[in-house]
Amino acid sequence: MTLHPEIAEFLAALPAPPEGPLDPVAMRAADETHLPPVEERLPLHAVHDVTAKTDAGEVPVRVYTPAEADTYGLLVYFHGGAFFLGSLETHDHVARSLAQETGLRVVSVGYRLAPEAAFPAGLDDCYAAVRWAAGEDSGLDWDGATLAVAGDSSGGTFAAAVAARAHDDGFDRITHQILYYPSLDLDFDADRYPSLRENATGYGLETAGLKPFNAFYLDSGADPADPLVSPIKRTDLSGLPPALVVTAEHDPLRDEGELYGERLRAAGVAATVRRYPGAGHGFVQHFSWIPEYHRVFEETRDFLNRR
């Protein structure tokens, strides 16, 4: 299927990227200028910011409560942005949609970003936030039943790494991992996966841009051979939580996500892999207003309800 016409129209109207090295501060500021005012966002029962006091230090989180209840299933969400972009604000609409559709209390994590924070600061924040959320001191009234981790793009990397780290630590409370077009192999050799060639140009995220966009993270000490950096490098995937892996047809990262799902299944993990036709990388963040892509939130709900 060709690229969805509304996505193609949007990409065609984008200005050429500025020449020269990437400027994280300027790029973050630009992202924040396109946000709708709070009063125009999807309404929920409650949305509030909290400082989670964790073993990794104080981590800002935003809590989304879809309805009043005595206890809640929890979904801890990690935003994308190549480890140096993204924020609680830029992905606020994703967290709201997840809360509304799943009925879970969503905890979005404002983890530390590269290059200012060296590896593994961001990963430490994400893992610590999950453990905090499940604790009595969090005040989140976890029901003890559902504790999911989810993320898009580099946030999907963190979700997979957090699930693996929790397993290795004997923290067995994570019940689901939800990975939206995750970056699972930070060795960006263009010959490693066919989709890196097939979707190299013209679909938003380009293969040639993977190295420079991820350089802030890798240069901060993240080793692509480390399974906590490239989760697909993990040799033993058995015992990990059930997974939903969502990929996009026109994404350079498509094949590594689908291979990860296959490897999870081969290791005895219940894994569902869904490829969204006509979509490119980032469609959950940027194009979930298109009905056929908003369905990803319904699919997430159905996956969580299967347990």
Q: Is 286 a catalytic residue?
A: no
Between the alpha carbon of residue 68 and those of residues 102, 126, 133, the distances in Å are 14, 26, 18
Q: Is 281 a catalytic residue?
A: yes
- What pLDDT score was predicted for residue 226? 98
Asked if 240 and 171 count as a contact pair (C-beta separation under 8 A), the reply is no
C-beta atoms surrounding 196 within 10 Å: 22
The residue from 79, 176, 250, 281 that is catalytic is 281
Mark the ranges of the chain whose per-residue pLDDT is less than 50: none
The residue from 108, 138, 153, 288 that is catalytic is 153
Burial label for 270, CB within 10 Å (0-12, 13-18, 19+), is middle
Pairing mode of beta strands 176-180, 142-152: parallel
Residue 192 DSSP label = S
Task: For 169-184, write each residue's pLDDT tens digit.
Answer: 999 999 999 999 999 9
- What pLDDT score was predicted for residue 18? 77
The residue from 92, 124, 185, 251 that is catalytic is 251
- What pLDDT score was predicted for residue 307? 60
Sheet of 72-78: strand order equals: 46-54, 57-65, 105-109, 72-78, 142-152, 176-180, 243-250, 271-280
Q: Is 294 a catalytic residue?
A: no
Q: Write the DSSP string, 8-37.
A: HHHHHHSPPPPSSS--HHHHHHHHHTTPPP
